[in-house]
Amino acid sequence: MADASLAAKSEVMSLFRPPIVRSASATLNRALFSKTIPIAAARIANPKNISRFRKLLEKSEELAKLERITNIQLDPDPALAQRGGKCMLLKPEIKPEGTNPTTWSAVLQEAVKAEEMRVIPYNLTLDYNYWTYHDIMTSLLPEDAQEEIPVGFAIVGHVAHLNLRDEYIPYKHVIAEVLIDKNPTIRTVINKVDDVGTHSEYRTFGYEVLAGPDDMNVELSEENCIFKFDYSKVYWNSRLQTEHKRLVDSFNPGEVVCDVMAGVGPFAIPAGKKGVFVWANDLNPDSYAAMVEAINRNKVRHFVRPFNEDGHTFIHHAADSILNLASTHKNTISIPAKRVFNAKASDPVPPPTILTIPQTISHFVMNLPATAIDFLGSFNGLYHGHEQLFEPHTSTKLPMVHVHCFSTKSEDNVREGIEICERISEKLGYVVKPGDKELVIHEVRDVAPKKRMFCASFRIPSEVAFRERRAR
């Protein structure tokens, strides 16, 4: 009995699967996905009774439960439908009048007997628009290519960015077509054709357009900030949104953050919005231009200052320029007060808010995982000659560094932690090891089967910060 029940259930489920449309030429014919399923429907004599019978049929478990389709439809009789007649779709196991009334519950039998309802045949037509992306791919792709149907892709504005494995390359155009069909916000689909950084030193990559216009000028929102840029010329990774938020949440309003490899500003702009002073730098002129646009668009120019320099040079430049602001009494900014809504013209203008920029940096962000650790040597001598500004002379601590990097992938990340500390130690000229106070190695995300991205956070040792500066 149990086997028969499972077989019947499987047969019913198969009714709602798309037609198998294998395509040797890897082309998409949407018309082939139309499928008509003969079921039964409950025609209600008095439309006022629909709500009552719907509850009764839900309770008797005879009402159809369909994804993306409401079970109340217009009557299949055009004349009745024109007058507003409706019917309720029933499960495939329920048969219409004149076939097998033993499939009916007492509710159906009594309602039909009382002429309040009829159980009629109903042809349920499902077409290409009904099926999901996964449904279509399962139907289209050969069985030997279905072990892992491509579902992971990054969305950057209106662009879907694929990184297809070799076995899916013959089907790349049909995959892209279906993605656009099933995702209304996507207009362009691209596939990466080389690794990030291969195309240029600015972390851009070569790509091919699989569907839609070759339009890489995107606009997107992250953490209530708007960014607009040419995706073919700058680095952006939507999968880092959680990491952006994690670090920005750790910054306090009024602190100074130095973003050494800022890109278009995914750390800098949200931090500026919460009142953090950010010195934000990127070597790529296009990233710098997009960051300037984002600063103005998001109204954070009082807090975020953009730079277009080499990261090694910028680390010392940022520290020195902030010290210089204090020594020249240029470390205050005046932020005009917002006028009260519906304020009268004669009302006095509220005074501006005066903020003071601290003379030392609280955090350095280094989000260039392929090579950021190589820049750590530039922290040598960062605050040489300014020991009196920090503990134990004051309550101010030396800056925290948040450096992103890649390493191997294991279950416990123990060997990765050791390896990352060894690389940091080599560049700092100071031994850093797992278990050190204030050292945290955070797992960010997997980037490949044997590759993982990490963020190592540590406070700059005084032995490093107060050394004499040395040329790189």
Domain range spanning residue 364?
A: 237-465
Residue finishing a domain among 94, 126, 158: 126
Q: What is the dihedral of CA 271, 273, 278, 284, to 10 degrees?
A: 80
Long-range pairs for 127-136: beta carbons < 8 A, 24 or more residues apart: 127/30, 127/33, 127/34, 127/35, 128/30, 128/31, 128/33, 128/34, 128/181, 130/68, 130/69, 131/18, 131/33, 132/182, 133/178, 133/179, 133/182, 133/183, 135/17, 135/18, 136/18, 136/33, 136/178, 136/182
CB-CB neighbours of 27 under 10 Å: 11
Distance from C-alpha of 276 to C-alpha of 470, rounded to nearest angstrom = 30
Cβ 76 vs Cβ 39: under 8 Å: no
Q: Which two tokens stand for residue 347?
A: 């009302």
DSSP-derived pairing of the beta strands 256-259 and 117-126: unpaired
- Quick: pLDDT tens for 137-173: 888 888 776 667 777 788 999 999 998 888 888 889 9
Same domain assignment for residues 45 and 153? no
Helix (H) or strand (E) holding 80: helix 78-82
Confirm whether 10 is domain-assigned: no
Distance from C-alpha of 68 to C-alpha of 70, rounded to nearest angstrom = 7
Cβ 464 vs Cβ 430: under 8 Å: yes
Distance from C-alpha of 389 to C-alpha of 263, rounded to nearest angstrom = 31
Distance from C-alpha of 151 to C-alpha of 175, rounded to nearest angstrom = 10
Confirm whether 110 is domain-assigned: yes
CA 453: distance to chain centroid?
Answer: 16
Same domain assignment for residues 303 and 381? yes
Confirm whether 11 is domain-assigned: no
pLDDT computed for residue 2 by the predictor:
45
Same domain assignment for residues 305 and 364? yes
Distance from C-alpha of 430 to C-alpha of 432, rounded to nearest angstrom = 6
Q: Print burial letters for 330-352: b (CB count within 10 Å at least 16), e (below 16).
A: ebeeeeeeeeeeeeeeeeeeeee
Task: Report DSSP state, residue 106.
Answer: H
Among 96, 191, 105, residue whose Cα is nearest residue 153: 191
pLDDT computed for residue 11 by the predictor:
54
Confirm whether 7 is domain-assigned: no
Distance from C-alpha of 144 to C-alpha of 295, rounded to nearest angstrom = 49
Among 218, 190, 187, 189, residue whose Cα is nearest residue 205: 190
Q: What share of the chain is helix, strand, coil (3-state, %, to 5)?
A: 35, 25, 45
Same domain assignment for residues 262 and 388? yes
pTM for the whole structure? 0.85
Same domain assignment for residues 162 and 244? no
Confirm whether 453 is domain-assigned: yes
Same domain assignment for residues 309 and 370? yes
- Confirm whether residue 311 is marked as ligand binding: yes
Residue finishing a domain among 77, 107, 126: 126
pLDDT computed for residue 7 by the predictor:
46
Which residues have a Cβ under 8 Å from the Cβ of 466 and sit 6 or more positions away? 381, 383, 384, 387
Same domain assignment for residues 139 and 120? no
Distance from C-alpha of 272 to C-alpha of 181, rounded to nearest angstrom = 38
Q: What is the dihedral of CA 260, 266, 271, 274, to 10 degrees?
A: 170
- Confirm whether residue 57 is marked as ligand binding: no
Same domain assignment for residues 338 and 363? yes
Same domain assignment for residues 243 and 324? yes
Q: Which two tokens stand for residue 102?
A: 């033993």
Among 361, 372, 362, residue whose Cα is nearest residue 456: 372
CA 341: distance to chain centroid?
Answer: 36
* List of the chain residues with pLDDT < 50: 1-8
Same domain assignment for residues 141 and 75? no
pLDDT computed for residue 388 by the predictor:
97
Confirm whether 144 is domain-assigned: yes
- Confirm whether residue 286 is marked as ligand binding: no
Q: Which two tokens stand for residue 215?
A: 């339009």
Distance from C-alpha of 299 to C-alpha of 335, rounded to nearest angstrom = 11
- Confirm whether residue 127 is marked as ligand binding: no
- Confirm whether residue 329 is marked as ligand binding: no
Which residue's structure tokens are 């439960």?
65
Quickly list H helices, 298-342. Answer: 311-327
Same domain assignment for residues 290 and 259? yes
Q: What is the CATH number of the domain that holds 432?
A: 3.40.50.150
Same domain assignment for residues 442 and 324? yes
Confirm whether 12 is domain-assigned: no
Confirm whether 359 is domain-assigned: yes
- Confirm whether residue 85 is marked as ligand binding: no
Q: How many domains does the chain have?
A: 3
Cβ 93 vs Cβ 103: under 8 Å: yes
For residue 214, the one-letter residue type is: D
pLDDT computed for residue 350 by the predictor:
82
Residue finishing a domain among 107, 126, 145: 126
For residue 131, the one-letter residue type is: W
